[in-house]
Chain A
Amino acid sequence: MPHTPTPPYTSPARLLALGMVVLAMLWATLTLAQTPGDTAATVAVETAPAPQPPLPATGIRAYDAPNDGGHAITVEWTASGDDGQGRNNVVMYRVLRTPALRGPISPDSVPPGDPSYRLFDSRAYGTAAWRFIENQWDTLADVPMGSTRYENRGGKQRASNDFLPDHIEFRYKVLTINDAGGIAESEVSAPASASGQYLHTGKLLHIGIPVVIFLALVLYFINAAKSGRELYIRPLAGINAVDEAIGRATEMNRPILYVLGLGAADEIATIASLTILSRVTKKVAEHRTELLVPCYDAVVMSIAQETVKQAYLDAGRPDEYKDDIVYFVTQEQFAYVAAVNGTMLRRQTATNFYLGVFFAESLILAETGSIAGSIQISGTDRTTQIPFFVVACDYTLIGEELFAASAYLSREPKLLGTLKAQDYAKAIFLGVLIAGCVGAALQWQWIARTFHLSF
């Protein structure tokens, strides 16, 4: 078989074919050289009409989020004309951010091999990361239709992914997206930067001013009481019964049990209970009755030991004080309950005080005391436990009565003065509540705005 020579590459047919291939490659190269977005757009145009964009959000503005520790910028805009009106087909807004470069840009911030964008040199501001890219719009969040506000709250740690530095300017824009996938871009906001504030104006208005008013009332009534003005306070059965309960224990020659509750030392109810313990101990010391104070919290135990010791000293009976009066049991809720219940039943305590913070153990303690036949005086600020105490105890101090008990027991003018101040503060509260109710009924928005908590 003879060897068939291959046709020469320079034949006209070959050249034509080669030319067509080169043209095809050139066309493909040019097409592919376009950005992917452009390609998609081209294809979309060919296959289906582009979704009609909604009306854009307008009036975009960014500003430092008020009353915070920094690292947050608030973005606000006016809703699109198609959001809740017009074509009413907006589904969400997308918030985007880019750094507004005004600071120094380091030459070495250009990533090698890619001159198309530059990194924002956050190191110039003492931060560690290279993160903010000039002219790159980062998507921050999608917020649902109807929204006109987004808070860009970033991380505070420099190493964190969403770190938002203070005192560096950013610009924002908002994309409005409708149900057909149409997107409309807003204007770009003026630059804004985050910073921390040294005074929370919202808290000052809603908490600072009321506290100052309350403090003024307290000081006024303390002075009034000191100057001899008679302050009437409603008698409390639970407080009046304290003397009787201690007297009963003395007559029966049985101990008194004082439970400070399960609260830690930083709970005001526990502190209130410690103040009552001090006054009860003085009376107990005078009557020479035995006192038992089993504790749940070791810190509370330490304070209670000092309180009781000092009360014995003040009552003039330091010799009666023993270290075993106040003792630690355990920091496990139901083990503590078991221990206290055991003490009640074995020692047949004549009087039980439960004053402080209580949880599910309240009824278990009070029912056991009731079975043991003790007189029981309870008090807590836990609203859930109050009904249990009311049912099973002889006397219950409800909520704030626990805090008032110390003043009742001492009858000191300065303490009674604060009680009176509390009453007036409550009257002011009541007035505000009624105004709020009336305002809500009559749709007086300014009342709602005045008392709207801005934190």
Chain B
Amino acid sequence: MGRYVLRRLLQLVPVFIGTTFLIYFMVWALPGDPLAGKCGDQACPPAFIERMRLEYGLDQPILVQYLSYLGGLLQGDFGQNFRGQDVGTLIANTYPVTIKLALVALVIQAVIGLTAGVLTGLRPGGYLDNVVLTATLFLVAVPVFVTGYVLQAVLGLRLGLIPPTVPSDPGLFDLIVPGYVLGSLSLAYVARLTRTSIAENSRADYVRTATAKGLTRNRVVGVHLTRNSAIPVITFLGADFGTLMGGAIVTEGIFNIRGIGGLIFESIQRLDGVVVTGVVVLLVMVYLLANLLVDVTYALLDPRIRLD
């Protein structure tokens, strides 16, 4: 197990270099000049452009820029953006909010999705099953920004139950509605995935054996059935955590959450390659580590699965 985790961690190194390289070059390839628009509607004076080019190494070939950026990154220095702000600080300011939001979304989709899935999976074709099938179909069909704007307008503006936007240092309660919006699509998938898995496994031999042994129904379903059926769901949730972090752009925009999504979006618009690269690298790391976490969880759920 230890060797396995170590190996997986070592695999991060080439991925790290590969992603930074690709992202850095892709941002550079975007049309437009990062210094344009810094002086309002007017052109910037040559002296200003000259100073900025020197300061940010824009006069160097792109490869040299990348290498010096990578050098800084290895020492934990994310560099400075074109506004003279430390990218590490920017990330430290925005990351916790997005993590919180993604975790809230994850918990919401796990709790609601798993419950709905287990309940419907045990009685496929029943009344509840049909209700959940329709509801999830609806969730899958409606885009995130529609859910977001509708909830914001109805709950926030017309009913006044929640503030329409999230304060700059949000508590868990503030994030429930945005978290639901963010997780709504995956919630539907989790419910359906669980339902299928439960429905299939409830006819499995080990369930029959457990029932034959005289175990209570609660124990059969709670421990034996659900635990085994949860494996594909856990895979999905783990991979989804990474997606939620990156996919928060729309939700964060609607609720004015100053998280990582907004930071990426604005930095792409401003051609701020240093910020984009830094954030994306972190997202990739989180994605990979979340996947590692999933693989390790397998061993807990099903002792037959060997990792090394």
A and B physically associate: no
